[in-house]
Structure 1
Amino acid sequence: MDKNTFLSKSRMKVWVTILHIAAFIVFVIGISIIYCNENFNRGLLWINAEKYDDSPAFRTQFDSDISLLFSYANLKNIFETDGKFDINKDIFGLNMGPSNDVDFTVGAIIEYAKRHGFYIDEHFQVSIVDQSLVNQIEDTSYFVNYRIYADTSGLVEPGDAYISMKTIITESLVLLSKYYNAYERFILTPSNFRYRLEYGDVVYTNDRTLNIKSVYEYGKYAITSSQGMMVETNLSEIPKELSYQAEKLTDKLPKPYKVYIAVNTLYTATDTYALANVDYLRQRRAYSIGLVSATVGLILMALSMAYLLVFSGHSEGRKGIKINKLFDIIPVEVKILLLTFGIVLVFAANNFIGQKVLHIYIEKKYWNFANQMLNYASVYIVALPIVFSIVREYKAGLLWKNSYTKVIKESFSVYMLKRSFKKKWGSNFLALMLVDFIAVTFFLVTTINEKRLLGRLMIFICFIIFLVVNFIIFNKIYKTAIAFDSIAEAIKEIASGDTRYRLNEDEFAGREASVVKDLNNISKGFQGAINDQVKSERLKADLITNVSHDIKTPLTSIINYVDLIKREKPENAKIQEYLDILSVKSQHLKNLTEDLVEASKVSSGNISVDLRDIDLVEMINQTNGEFEEKFSEKGLSIISNTPSGGVMIKADGRHLWRVLENLYNNAFKYAAKNSRIYIDIISDNTGATFVIKNISENPLNIRPDELTERFVRGDVSRTTEGSGLGLSIAKSLTILQGGKFDIIIDGDLFKVQIKFEKVA
């Protein structure tokens, strides 16, 4: 490419535009890196001023571990016997009735808590599986005989000794979660946090070599004892709770005491401190990168924007400003409206699509920032072409010339003469309101100031004329409102499905008559379209039925002759193989034909329904038995959960069996091999619900409502011998019997539930 061509104005503007977009992306990335850094609000000095073990984050973790350590020391005797976790140790005792004292051990508490939906999560927090299970715990308060983790000497009122089961279980679980957390942190896993607590002859430690000499060999340490108030440490701040916690532990352990706590800042163990140190260094590097990216991006954006603003509209070898004849000539007011509409549109798109996509890749705590950045970036991108269009229009001298403000200003008189119906009545109503206000004000002022009888009489006559004129105008507006009410009622009737609804055109005049005529024409068009649609559906149903019947006769012959050939037992194995394939495919074609006939009957309503009392439980058990052997071919097992008694519903037994057969066959075809098919019957006051669910072998790449359309299956499932009619027929037959049919897809879980009213 020629150098002059490469550096021409048009080429340069393209390159500078690309540079501007790239700089904008770099700027957004830099700002995002800075904002998402956990040290964002600490300024720039922290980048070079400290290491992780000198940071507030280290001190916070150190204080937290001290608190957890002394919690563990307090809890050891509660949950341990001879240094080992004891599940049989009593935790609290309640008086639950006369001569009914009950002791709760650790094991009993764990069992009770799990049965009522409590569990300890990965962060060692007490969590709840299902609040309804927790709500099942009775609210009765019981007398507390003892709580080994609480001092009862401070109880003041008799009522303080009573507590509910929910409260005392929660208290115990909180302590147990702290014990688990500390045991995991300090005992089970290697840790850079080392400690030694010496209380008389009692020693708690996770480092047998830690003593008054070796503690100084670690990077950070803190030492305290019962002999003084000072805490010896090389931390920039003294640990807040160390002295208090160390002294408080003497309530349970003997004096004197010595406490040695240290952190190995070589981070030889992979624990919280080591991971935080790596993360701290990573964040510092990321902050520097983000700062450089944001600065460079902003500078390049400013320079490229200045260049584009200066040379926008200029073209190589051409005098004057080159404008886009399709877009630049649009009035500036319309461009502002387009900009507003574009911003609203991108905000909506971001809200419904963009933000959800971002949330897939971005951590939840940064969602708000990501949403804002997405909106800002979208506004910037939408605004750029409109801003440059306005700049070119301004340079070409068309900004004011093409504006609506100029048109309105110059043609106001013409506008007043050529008003449409809406504009005329709108402006007349506003003018009437203004005149009324002025007139009423004038009448009040003149009436108060006029003392002569003749003068007051003239004012009264003028007021009567004013009222008559207002009444005439009001009557005209009222009749127009009645006409529009009639039109609105007609639109409502047509929208509700009554396409035969018509208005009498003779009752309307003027513009309303034209609107009514158009509305009647629309109604006639709807009716004609519906008639054509009904006719088309009927012809389609008849075609399917006739073709299916015509196919069945030769198909039956094919099946019979294939069966006769198979009985001859041909010696050629290849022929036998071909016969087997032909038998399977012809049987599949027969099933498809039968499904087509049944789907046609259901869609056309040409099917009878004989509703009788049916025991749903008995029918489901029979169906389970029918399909148990078939399911075993794919390693599928049925997990059935049905009421012990019968559940009577109103249904057609033949049609209900077809619905169940289609659902079970669907599960057989598409369930993952060696999985389970769950069958449930739920009976309540609202009715009886049958539920079948399974895990799909292939991804469910289709919406639930599409699965009940005819000839529709998932893309992957098209390799199976299905017709795409099973679920459609099942839904239609369920509705035909007065039931409700729903499909629910949750990930790979496929669930169908049908509901019928119970027999009273």
Structure 2
Amino acid sequence: MVKKWKSLLVLMCLIWTIFGMFTFWQVGYQYIGKSYFDSENFQHEIDNFTAELGPLVINVPNAEDLKDKIEVTQSEIEEHRNYYGTLGQQIDNIKAQYEQRIQEAVDANATELKAKLEAERDNKIKDITTNFEDDEHVRKKILAGEEALIDQYIKAAQGEAKNFKKAYDYWSYELTNSETGKTYRAGNISESSAYKIKYTERNPLYVGNISENLRDTFYRTENYVNVDNLYETAEYTGVLTISKKAVQSLGVMQDYSRFHRNQYTFFFVWLTSIVTAIFAWRGRKDLLQTVKGMKEQEILNKARFDFQVILVLITGLMYLIASQVVFESIEYTYDYNYQHNYVRYILDVAFKIAVLVIIGSAFFVQLIWLYTRVDTLKKLEENVKSSYLWSLGDSITDLFINRSIALHSIVMLAAAFFGGGSLVATMIGAGVGGFAVLVLGICMFIGFPAMIVFLSRMGYLNRIMKDTKDMAEGRLNRDVKVKGKSPLAGHAENLNHLREGVRTSMHEQAKSERLKTELITNVSHDLRTPLTSIITYTDLLKKPNITEEERQQYIHILDKKSERLKVLIEDLFEVSKMASGNIELHRSRVDLTQLIQQAVGEHKEDLTQSQLDLRMTMPHDPIFAYVDGQKWWRLIDNLIVNVLKYALEGTRVYVTLKRTADGDAEFTVKNVAKYEISEDAEELFERFKRADASRHTEGSGLGLAIAQSIVDLHGARMSIDVDGDLFKVIVRISAI
């Protein structure tokens, strides 16, 4: 009995030793040979204090000084000017914003409201137009916005300074500006200090004039202030201290007392764990002998080996969690839960340590039992081979035996009939003739037909496997034969579906590779063409003997080609953004009838010059839909531009809008193609795809791709029909 108690004590010492090692690994570097003022928490506090002391207390910037440093560059003017798009786009956007509201005012006979809205709209348009005409106008707007942000910062800094002084009132300092000689004081630096930092001319304190915590104040509107232009640092010499009196004050530096309390506690844990390690090492043999002699080990040894391994792993995980819980109770819990009840804190930690000892005891006892079970290589091999996982591995391996299914089936049936024949022979020898005849009859009239059916099914299975192998090797031109309604027939039907899926996938993959190759080729061609012209005419401009007229001509061509290159790149970026869904829609209630009439009307002159006869069919009543008016305008514009490029001269172009029986709005554009469309019509939605394979027409080849992306973003539908040279695009969207 005494030996068992001694072994239990050794086990508890082992658990405490492991816990001491665990805590030393966790926080030993924080407490060994260090004071609170060397800790990471205090160093972080110093960094925060010195970083905010300057901009909030001793180096507070003046609003007028900051405003004088503002510089509005030409690039900022251009960015502000084009923030919402080009002049035309911004004006169109303003008109679209007010169009519906003005129409509602007209419908309600609200004359004053209509006049007010029109005046408001015109003033905004006038302001936008002035933005594009007068740099100084824009400069003043930017300057006013940035000055307002500076005022916001100064106001926020004043409020933050009050909180800063209250939060760090235990710091004392006397700091002198090296440049101005002005001295700033707080507290009494002559008091006995617990911590002191001296700053000299060789090692001064550098403080800024902009608070890091308030930097976001400069980025709260579309205008922003470049903080780097405002940021200045100043050098200070002097002293920063924390007095012992402040340290001892209740609630001023809780981290200080917590650090020392934890330091003493962990020192105690580590010293006692060294003592318990010595005791555990000396009593290890008694512990092993006692644990090996426990009767419970025999019960656990009857279980499979992998079950015992899993049990040890689970217990070990619980032991690790319990160690973490006890560690956190010592490190953190007291401050938050037991500040005025130290006895309760001790009892709580003691209870958790007791749980740790119980779980740890279960873990180490099971670990010793597991070691005893496999302490030799032979025992390990025997236990592994008798485990559940090994048996499961054997079963899975059987699935991959390289034998003919027919051979296995015949052997299995032969064994079954041999066993039945032996049973019959035994019964006949025992004189049970009537029952033997019955068994023989069952074998004759049931067994043999079942064997024939079974062998037939196995033959069918072999055929399915042969066809499957052919499919795996790429021969997809023949269906797997479906016989009857058995599970094998269902499997054969599924294989046929799979074959069709593979063929379709291969076709789509080949199509995808072809389109990818064409995309790269077309992008290269369309980008290289203007780039080549730019390079050529740039070289020509370098020649000194060209005339001024030739120079102007070359510059005109360069400008045209550069604009062409810019359009290509912008269209490519736009269609990429739309395809990825990385674009925001601003939906509103839009009259599609009016929108289409206006969008198409802008191209009437172009259609006439292209010798195209426009025929529009619009409903008498408006058809409304929730769409992004600007994006939908782009969709209609792209479709009409597509007509201008590829419609045959002297033919009619039909533009139709109607409400379908399903309640959708259907927009249709029909024309006769100038070029033969011999490809899959759906491929025209691909990027850089054109109807003219020779690519002689202007354009990026992205018109229909952008249109399709706009349709997809709205959850609408777009399709292309080609009947000979008749080209028709149909767009459908849910109407209100």
TM-score, length of structure 2 as denominator length: 0.31
Q: In proportion to residue count, which structure has more helix?
A: 2
TM-score, length of structure 1 as denominator length: 0.30
